[in-house]
Structure 1
Amino acid sequence: MANHVIIVDLETTGLNSGRDQIIEIGAIKLDLDAGKVLDQFQTFSKPDDTYAFSYDQDDEGNDIENDEELEPIRLDPFITELTGITDEMLEGAPSNPDAVDAFFHFAGDLQIWAYNAGFDSKFLNNHTEAHRPLKDILSLARRAFPELQNHKLATVAEHLNLSIDGAHRALADCLMAKEVLIQGIQFQIENPDPFHHGFKVSDYLPKEEGVFYGKTIVFTGALETMTRDGAATHASQFGFKIGSSVTKKTDYLVVGIQDLSTLAGHDKSTKQRKAEELIADGVSIEILTENDFIRICGINT
Structure 2
Amino acid sequence: MSLSPLPSILLEPLVRAALLEDLGRAGDLTTDAIVPANQPAAMALVARQNGVVAGLNLAGMAFRLIDPAIEMTIERPDAAAVSAGEVIATVTGPARGLLTAERVALNFLCHLSGIATATSAVVEAVRGHKARIVCTRKTTPGLRAVEKYAVRAGGGSNHRFGLDDAVLIKDNHVAIAGGIRPAVERARASVGHLIKIEVEVDTLPQLEDALRLGVDAVLLDNMTLEELREAVRMVAGRAVTEASGRVTPVTAPGIAATGVDLISIGWLTHSAPILDIGLDTAALPGQCERQAGQEQETI
Give TM-score, length-normalised by structure 2. Answer: 0.26
TM-score (norm 1): 0.26
Greater percentage in helix? 2
